[in-house]
Structure formats: structure tokens, C-alpha cells
Amino acid sequence: MATGGLQDVPMVITVSDANNQFGFELFRKCGADRKDDNLFLAPFSISTALAMTQLGAGGATAAEIAKALKWPSQERPLKGFGSYLSLMSSAAVAHKGNSYILLGAQRIFVRQSLTLKQKFNSDAQQYFGADAKTADFQSNAEKERESINTWVSEKTQGKIKDLLPAGSLDSLTAMVLVQATYFKGFWLHQFYPRRTVKSYFRGTKGKVEVDMMSQKAKFPYARCEELSCSAIELPYDRGDGSDLYDLSMLILLPDEDDGLAALEASLTASDLAKLRSSMTTRGKVNLQLPRFSMESSLELKEVLISLGMVNAFSENNADFTGLVEQLSEDLYLSEVYHKAFVEVNEEGTEAAAAIGSRLFRCPQKN
């Protein structure tokens, strides 16, 4: 992403670098049990929701969340998140024409009987643009679940539905922190639909028939012998009539048909940065890309625990004393739900993601 016009650029880079590292590790953990299945997730959506949650954490709980998110220090990079999210909130009106839309929304649904601590509420609003809404979890948990899901659906243009599954909230629910992201972008160099034909694509399960798009144009491209792959960058149109771009899709293609697993296992954020820096736009590239859509639905509790967030999910050891005025010592993170969707076609890409972090009161405490 281009940093032109951003405030607090060093902090934004800190957030971006940490999110890349977190994203790779999260992807590998989530993909461990889905080796033959497609997987799509949105690390920035997840890290944003967890960063909001970390605002109210203390002690070892806060330290573990910061470490899992790959922050370089215990100091919260709040200005980086704030500038990043403000860029997302203004992206829809930054350009005209075939401009991309990139929107993020954050909301805290809090139990009616609880009052957010002033510091937490202020920081959540200032840096994350998160507003708070009271919810009657004690008497109408299922109705509130539907209300949260409706809000998420609205913020993602109907692409993410039923983020919170039936029965996921009950009378012990204290708070749900939610983040939703929506993106729609048009290719700077669009594919011609008439050139899309039925063809075969080799995946982890062998050859499958797909609608194969194709074009020949100048794209940033690189070969990486060390990773045994090629890389191509597909820019999204800014809508200002120029060839400049802010956002792009980066595609990596293993040299061998069965080389995806090895590439996923070895690729790091540092490798990706080096690969991008080596890309050049020289001759035209003959590109064939399947038209596709996919979605994923994940419960991240066990994955996040494996990344070191142990205390946050512990009824006995969680420290969320910075969240609310009442019962903070009784709160723990019970589950984190994530859904993501992406569709790639001749015009461009549409994608959406949402995450809901659910905090419970310990049932043995009154």
C-alpha cells in the first residue's frame, strides 16, 4: 500500500510489518488442518480486533497478545492503527471513476449493566474509530446475536452473513468486539470476458476445470530461485486515469505442480518483501488466471492459544481489568469468530471479512 498522505508513517509501517508476520504464522496454523482445502482469511481484520481487545488487557495477558501480533515492543502502535484505519475510511471518496472501495468498521457491543472504562472507550474511539452500543445479552442474547450479524452484513455489503453462529452468545456474554472490512477494486488492466474460456487448473487435488481468464500486458514480475516460484503483481485502478496505483494483488506461482505446500511452509514476511523489491516491469507477461470465489469460516481460539495467547482465554488468569468499571476481574476471552470472502473476475476483486471477539463473565463468580 502506498504511504502518500498518511500520517505517522513509521507507526503505519510498524503495524504493516507486524501484520505481515502475524498473517503468515496465522495462515500456516489455520492451514495445518486444511491441507487440501482452499483457505482465505484477513489478518488485518483479525489483528485490528485483537488490538482493540488488547487495549483493555493488562499484565501477562496484554504482553501475550502483543507478542502474538508480532509487535516489536510492548508499546501499543495505536497511532499506526489509527492512521491505517482512517485511510480505509476515506478510500471510498479518494478517487472517482473505477476507484477502489476499501472500508473498515469497528464496534463494541457491551452488556447493558456494564460501563466501559473511560480510557478504553476513549482510545477505542480515537485510534480505532470504534463506537460502543449497549446490548441486552442477559435477557435477549439470541436477538442481540442477530443484530450483530445484521450490522456485519451491512458493513460488508451482504458478503459476510451469520458471523456469530446460533447459540454463540448467552446470558454470560459481557462484550463482543467486532471488526468488518469490505473491498472492491477494478483491475488497472482488466481482462476481456470474451477471452475467458474453459480450461484446466492444477490444484492440490489434481486438475479441475475452471473459467480461465487471460491477457498479455505489462505487469510487475519476478522470478525467485530460492523459493522456486514466480510472482506477478496485479494493480488496482485508482480511478484518476493514471497508471499509478495504491493497492495490488500479489500472486505467487510455484515452479512445480505439487510445490504449493513447500512454498507455503517456507515463505516468510521477509521473503515477500525481498520478492516485491525485485519485481520489474519490462516486457509483457502472458497471464492466465482462473476466475474464482471462495469463503472461509473459522473459530480461532485454539489457533490463537497456539500462537501464545494463553492467558486471554483462561477463566482464572485473564486480565481484562482495563475494559469495564464493573467485574473486569471476571472477564475472559471465550472465542474468536472469523469469516472471509473473496471473488476474482474479469473486472477486478470483491472481498470482505469480519471478526467477532466474545468476552464472557466467569460463571463461578457473581
Summarised one tens digit per residue, pLDDT across range 306-333 is: 999 999 999 999 999 999 997 656 899 9
Query: Does domain 10-186+293-361 sit in CATH 3.40.47.10?
Result: no
Task: Give the Cα separation of 319 and 61 in Å (integer).
Answer: 6
3-state SS string over the chain? CCCCCCCCHHHHHHHHHHHHHHHHHHHHHHHCCCCCCCCCCCHHHHHHHHHHHHHCCCHHHHHHHHHHCCCCCCCCCHHHHHHHHHHHHHHHHCCCCCCCEEEEEEEEEEECCCCECHHHHHHHHHHHCCEEEEECHHHHHHHHHHHHHHHHHHHCCCCCCCCCCCCCCCCCEEEEEEEEEEEEEEECCCCCHHHCEEEEEEECCEEEEEEEEEEEECCCEEEECCCCEEEEEEEECCCCCCCCCCCEEEEEEECCCCCHHHHHHHCCHHHHHHHHHCCECCCCEEEEEEEEEEEEEEECHHHHHHCCCCHHHCCCCCCCCCCECCCHHHEEEEEEEEEEEEEECCCEEEEEEEEEEEEEECCCCC
Q: What is the pTM of this model?
A: 0.93
User: Is the four-CA dihedral 245, 130, 349, 100 of positive or negative sign?
Assistant: negative
Q: Residue 350 has what pLDDT?
A: 98
Q: Residue 180 has what pLDDT?
A: 97
Q: Residue 91 has what pLDDT?
A: 53
Mark residue 295 as left, alpha or beta (left: phi above 0; alpha: psi -120 to 50; beta: remaining).
Answer: beta
Q: Residue 45 has what pLDDT?
A: 96
Give, in degrees to the nearest 5, the angle at Cα 294 between 164 and 160.
Answer: 30
Q: Residue 4 has what pLDDT?
A: 45
337, 318 Cβ separation under 8 angstroms:
no
Q: Residue 97 has what pLDDT?
A: 61
Q: Residue 85 has what pLDDT?
A: 85
* Top-tier CATH class for 193-289: mainly beta
Task: Give the Cα separation of 143 and 356 in Å (integer).
Answer: 16
Q: Residue 339 has what pLDDT?
A: 98
Q: Residue 254 has what pLDDT?
A: 94
Question: What is the domain partition of the chain in residue ranges?
Answer: 10-186+293-361, 193-289
- Which residues of the chain are under the pLDDT cut of 50? 1-5, 94-95, 365-366
CA distances (Å), 124 to each of 104, 239, 300, 357, in order?
14, 32, 22, 15
